[in-house]
Amino acid sequence: MTVLLRPGEFYGVRQERTHGGVFELGLLQAQAPEHDVQLHLHQEAHFVLVLAGVYLSSARGAPEFAPAPALVYNAPGTVHRDRFLGGQGRFLTVSIDPARLDGGEALRAIPPGASYLRQPACLRSAFGLARAMQGVPDAALLESGVWELLAQSDATPPRAPNRPPAWLHRAFEAVMDGAGDARLSIAAVAAGSGVHPVHLARVFRDLLGCSPGELLRWRRIERACTTLRQPGRSVADIALEAGFVDQSHMTHAFRQRFGMPPGVLRRRMFETYKTRSNAQD
């Protein structure tokens, strides 16, 4: 008997769950004994990043016992009995609607079935998603990370172009100019540029050394830093104007970038300005 799992459903206790734009991500703790895991079917595509424990998978290329860290991609419709040795483990899941994989050339070499992914770039992107799940998740950063993970799962990615394509300028400007919109998605940037989000992520990384989501977060932090220099503005208002969902979203981004919340950075800005002014006098 094969058990049909609902979208986003896995054998494990969910500790964190968030939507990264058009994707669902979760951090789960495996606690079910091995014999309780039945043969089951996933209708959606998904990645499993093993963060702790030993994973037993039937994916192509997987070792008999796959200790953490390990990354598996399961195509839509995968039937398996993947589980953790001893029933103990911790893992990240990234669930993807099959419609999102209809990308033509952009997704031409995504594994057609369950596959064990050994590429270092894939592991780096997957761990980046796990880190981004901590604290206050950034939806655009998570969405961008998943598109990039899909791009890196391509077994035969194209060579980087010799020169920036014409659409890259449009995409860059869309991020820079639209950063103030907290609802801006990477998929929308790609659509406005006439390319698939996976291709967008691949070219951004190859030519700019960052993901579209990383550029978007940098731009929002830059906008916020500029406004923080203006006295009398509340941090909450500055967060919304810069494109953050709320003040806690901006505070999390500032702690990651500067190691301090925006209020502390603002005081240091004014102290530095005052010191310089007194020195000039």
- pLDDT, tens digit only, all 281 positions of the chain: 899 999 899 999 998 888 776 899 999 999 889 999 999 999 999 999 999 999 999 999 999 999 999 999 999 999 999 999 999 999 999 999 998 888 667 777 788 899 999 988 999 999 999 988 887 888 999 999 999 999 998 766 556 566 789 999 999 999 999 999 999 999 999 999 999 999 999 999 988 999 999 999 999 999 999 999 888 899 999 999 999 999 999 999 999 999 999 999 999 888 876 676 666 65
Phi/psi at 148 (5° precision): -70, -40
Domain made up of 166-264: CATH architecture: Orthogonal Bundle (1.10)
Cα of first residue to Cα of last residue in the chain, in angstroms, is 83
Task: Enter the CATH code of domain 3-135.
Answer: 2.60.120.10
Domain spans in the chain, listed from the N-terminal domain onward? 3-135, 166-264
Q: Are 57 and 176 in contact (CB under 8 A)?
A: no
* Residue burial 88-101, b: 16+ Cβ < 10 Å; e: rest: ebbbbbbbbeeebb
Please name the residue ranges forming H helices in the chain. 120-132, 139-152, 166-178, 186-193, 197-203, 212-228, 235-242, 247-258, 262-280
pTM recorded for the entire structure: 0.86
